[in-house]
């Protein structure tokens, strides 16, 4: 399976992608998680990226394309396929991904857009908790951890992302509509697009996703 999840901040990409990874034995490549790892390690890229992420902007296409290229070439978990979460976010990123896949003799099976109204995203984003080590995601109300503020698997503390506030969310949404909207059209023109109602419960969203992927290898 080679697929892409597209959706605004809080749509559920990071909630659903690990289920796809586990069910279809593919790698889950989340560019936001990769950038947050760099931020945590305080690498030069991480220090630059943090400013951009906290302002709701986008890190440069070249950096992001190289991150994905490196994973597709070197991550053995990707040999059966992949689910991309947060990439491509611009038309140039989508074009470069196509070039990369062409050279590998591979094709995308599908592109799924998680459809949801902007006004439903505020509570999802402001209530989100994450486990920085794994990227596992919880929600204070909609998906609380078993024990207050700690990860179910490791028992380590959960944190809020520094870009998960109302002001930065507004900017992230504006960026999404301006830069990633055209990516949706790009894939519609290629006949790869599917839409899923992402305002439903996580388990219904998952049922809809599975029915798109079943039978695609
Ligand atoms: P990234 O990490 O990709 O952030 P995002 O796109 O804003 O998406 P989120 O992670 O906020 O949302 P999600 O869809 O994963 O939602 P989740 O499942 O967690 O990128 C961060 C930044 O990095 C960008 O702003 C940019 O600066 C930079 N960047 C990354 N990739 C880049 C690229 N390719 N090019 C350039 N820059 C790049 O769910 C949210 C919450 O809702 C959770 O608490 C969850 O529990 C809850 N929830 C999920 N589903 C449901 C449901 N069905 N019902 C109720 N609650 C739900
Ligand atoms: Zn995410």
Nearest to 113, CA basis, from 68, 60, 24, 176: 176
Cα(first)–Cα(last) distance of the chain, in Å? 5
List, in order, residues 6 or more apart from 94 with CB less than 8 Å away: 88, 183, 186, 187
CB count, 10 Å around CB of 194? 15
Nearest CA to ligand 1 atom 1: 32
pLDDT for the residue 217: 67
195 Cα–ligand 1 center, Å: 17
pLDDT band at 216 (very low <50, low <70, confident <90, very high): confident
Any atom of ligand 1 within 6 Å of the Cβ of 11: yes
What residues are annotated to the active site?
13, 89, 128, 161, 172
- Record the pTM: 0.97
C-alpha 193: how far from chain center = 16
Structure tokens at 39: 């931020």
- Summarised one tens digit per residue, pLDDT across range 41-82 is 999 999 999 999 999 999 999 999 999 999 999 999 999 999
Any atom of ligand 1 within 6 Å of the Cβ of 89: yes
pLDDT for the residue 150: 97
Indicate if the pLDDT at residue 20 is higher than 80: yes
11 Cα–ligand 2 center, Å: 8
Distance CA 145, CA 156 (A): 11
58 Cα–ligand 2 center, Å: 14
Indicate if the pLDDT at residue 123 is higher than 90: yes
- Summarised one tens digit per residue, pLDDT across range 84-109 is 999 999 999 999 999 999 999 999 99
Any atom of ligand 1 within 6 Å of the Cβ of 201: yes
Any atom of ligand 1 within 6 Å of the Cβ of 28: no
Any atom of ligand 1 within 6 Å of the Cβ of 116: no
93 is in an annotated binding site: yes
Nearest CA to ligand 1 atom 50: 12
- Summarised one tens digit per residue, pLDDT across range 128-168 is 999 988 889 999 999 999 999 999 999 999 999 999 999 99
List, in order, residues 6 or more apart from 96 with CB less than 8 Å away: 61, 65, 88
pLDDT for the residue 215: 77
136 Cα–ligand 2 center, Å: 9
pLDDT for the residue 135: 86
């Amino acid at each position: 399976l080679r697929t892409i999840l597209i959706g605004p901040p809080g749509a559920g990409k990071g909630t659903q992608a690990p289920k796809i990874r586990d069910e279809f034995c593919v790698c889950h490549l989340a560019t936001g998680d990769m950038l947050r790892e760099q931020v945590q390690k305080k690498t030069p890229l991480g220090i630059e990226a943090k400013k951009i992420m906290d302002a709701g902007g986008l890190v440069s296409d070249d950096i992001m394309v190289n991150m994905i290229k490196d994973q597709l070439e070197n991550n053995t978990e990707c040999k059966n396929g992949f689910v991309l979460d947060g990439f491509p976010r611009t038309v140039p990123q989508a074009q470069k991904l196509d070039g990369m896949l062409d050279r590998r003799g591979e094709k995308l099976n599908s592109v799924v857009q998680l459809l949801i109204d902007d006004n439903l995203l505020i509570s999802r984003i402001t209530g989100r908790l994450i486990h920085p080590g794994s990227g596992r995601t919880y929600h204070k109300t909609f998906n609380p951890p078993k024990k207050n503020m700690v990860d179910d698997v490791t028992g380590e503390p959960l944190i809020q992302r520094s870009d998960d506030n109302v002001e930065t969310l507004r900017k992230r949404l504006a960026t999404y509509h301006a830069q990633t909207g055209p990516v949706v059209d790009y894939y519609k023109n290629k006949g790869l697009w599917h839409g899923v109602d992402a305002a439903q419960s996580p388990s219904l969203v998952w049922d809809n996703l599975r029915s798109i992927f079943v039978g695609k290898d």
